[in-house]
Chains A and B, each alone.
Chain A
């Protein structure tokens, strides 16, 4: 048996032990979905570099590891948690440790009007029909083995339901912290935003400890007519962590979705971001940043499906790669035949700070409509020599001058975040990393 089948067998075995811990919950409809998912998982193969979408992404480092499901909440330094939290008075706060909801660190008792916020396992019990209408729909297990794996082990995660016309002023922060203890966690989120509603959600992934771990994560978003959503995802896992995620967004008529996908951590990271326009006159902005060093590998695969006319998508992903780290960007934009009056703009820009850093970038536009405005492009470069000389000629030392330019390049991505605390934090995190 090769390592790929070994790991698969192991996950399947672990699924059966996991099942046994579920007791009565095995009777709930969610469990049927899990069982279907593990079947899918066992039928699918782990991707190899011969597979479309994995050409530059070799998952062998992951396959050579073994992970056990997290089964308890470890001791954790509150300082560590607080480092990742924004002011609890101004945010609704959910904290999960090793996948388990932590009441101690969360602050979600008095919720704003119009907001339902529960752990996904609670939500399944309380409103099964609502959850099951959307659960595992936009992120399907059919083709993606990691989504299937996440769904099979789906037990912990966040359910958000924003009622029609509700404008949730307080941003919602969800923090997933994992102790690096050779475990795997499968956070699963379902966010339903109803007509005319507005909400801002921040997901943060972080870890502590010296060993390895594997976060395999899925977030599904359904955004109904005229709703406005801002989503910030901060990935700051330990440097020996594996992190695979899928963010799946269904945009209905006249919606407005902004995503900020910020990546600092992880040894092996693959993020899938998939957005689909199910209605016209909607806007989708995908912003991304990856800052890598050492031997980190970060892959962002995005796809935007212009299935309906009159929509706008605008995408900007930026990478700063140091040492012998590697980055991958793949951005697909489909403009279907009926999607006239589409505006689709896509940019991927990278700065390599070392001769050993590599980035593979592939923006892809597939256009089947004729009345559209589309552009795409990718750049890979070093710092601009003229800008660097200008700063130095003003007396700024070379190291500082470089840092100033790198910071300017990166901070551009987070400038338009409307949640001030989040923007400030990210800017100072960047400054800390880069200046």
Chain B
């Protein structure tokens, strides 16, 4: 589904990603772990198309298309969804406005008819129950005055409505209490299908108890320094990152 080859990216002239290679096939769940400041969010944002980052080398293919040529909005239309680590508040723009515009823009891009108000509402209501959000959220401004947990649930709700092919969840588990974590994880699990894929960025193992990854990668200093299966996540939880970092240093 997505192939990232030797990806290098800078911000303000400083290299943050230093040669990332990662392939995710449909139906798979990949976890990316690593200490703070490793470049996990940077990778997520570069895939989503944030222009502040300058890609200096490498490529990203998404279902065969050169992703780096597309602006963020068209990447989303192609089926990429980023659940933000820090969802921004947008006063004055209701969740309904956001979702209706997003959904219809994506449908238009794909040559599908726009949904009418009724169809939209029934879709949205169905998806809301998935993350146990109440309907008054629709009228509220995007993320404005939301608690940390509500923001994260709202991200998953949006994902449920937009039904992406590749979802990237950036620390969606951080700041969630155990109930909210369960709700979010359930939502993600229910949306999984053999046709789509998920990249879970986290530095805790606990989310991975609910969303079982097929592969676990350790990102450190802009590079993936180790990959393994779900047992790697447990090992990291018990032993920390130092041993992986040392191991990688020895290899160089």
Residues on A close to B: CB < 8 A? 384-387, 389-398, 400-401, 404-405, 407-409, 411-412
Contacts and interface: CB of A to CB of B under 8 A. Distances in A.
Most chain A CB inside 10 Å of its own CB: which residue of B73, B81, B90, B98: B73
Q: Of B50, B84, B105, which is in contact with the most chain A CB atoms at under 10 Å from its CB?
A: B105
Contacts, number: 76
Pairs A-B, 6 closest by C-beta atoms:
A408-B92, A395-B76, A394-B102, A395-B106, A392-B73, A392-B72
Interface of B: 48-52, 71-73, 75-77, 81-82, 84, 87-88, 90-93, 97-99, 101-103, 105-106, 109, 141-142, 158, 162
Given A393-B76, A401-B73, A408 B91 contact: yes
Given A387-B88, A387-B90, A396-B105, 18 more contacts: A389-B50, A389-B72, A390-B84, A390-B87, A390-B90, A391-B90, A392-B71, A392-B76, A393-B72, A393-B76, A393-B82, A394-B101, A395-B76, A395-B77, A396-B101, A397-B73, A405-B93, A408-B93
13 contacts: A384-B88, A385-B52, A387-B88, A390-B88, A390-B90, A391-B98, A392-B49, A392-B71, A392-B72, A393-B49, A395-B77, A395-B103, A407-B92
Nearest to B80: A393
A408 B102 contact: no
A412 B109 CA distance: 31
- Find the residue from A396, A397, A400 having the highest chain B CB count within 10 A: A396
Given A393-B49, A396-B73, A405 B109 contact: no
A411 B92 CA distance: 8
Contacts of A401: 73
B79 to A, nearest CB: 9
B50 A396 contact: no
A124 B31 CA distance: 81
Contacts of A389: 50-51, 72
Nearest to B77: A395
Q: Dominant SS at the A interface? A: helix
A386 B88 contact: yes
Given A405-B90, A408-B93, A397 B105 contact: yes
Nearest to A403: B101
B118 to A, nearest CB: 21
A398 B91 contact: no
Contacts of B91: 408, 412
A221 B226 CA distance: 75
Given A393-B48, A404-B97, A398 B73 contact: yes
A394 B92 contact: no
Contacts of B92: 407-409, 411-412
B84 A394 contact: no
Contacts of B88: 384, 386-387, 390
Nearest to A415: B92
A386 B142 CA distance: 13
A404 B93 contact: yes
B129 to A, nearest CB: 21
B57 to A, nearest CB: 23
Nearest to B75: A393
Contact of A404 (B76, B101, B106, B162): B101
Contacts of A412: 91-92
A407 B101 CA distance: 14
A396 B93 contact: no
Given A387-B88, A390-B87, A404-B101, A395 B93 contact: no
Contacts of B162: 394-395
Output the residue of B71, B98, B158 with the most chain A CB within 10 A: B98
A14 B126 CA distance: 71
Contacts of A394: 76, 98-99, 101-102, 158, 162
A398 B71 contact: yes
Contacts of B76: 392-395
A392 B71 CA distance: 9
Contacts of B73: 392-393, 395-398, 401
Contacts of B103: 395
Contacts of A393: 48-49, 72-73, 75-76, 81-82, 84
Nearest to A406: B92
Residue among B50, B75, B101 having the largest count of chain A Cβ atoms under 10 Å: B101
A260 B72 CA distance: 38
A388 to B, nearest CB: 9
Given A389-B72, A408-B91, A395 B97 contact: no
Contacts of B106: 395
Contacts of A390: 84, 87-88, 90, 142
Contacts of B49: 392-393
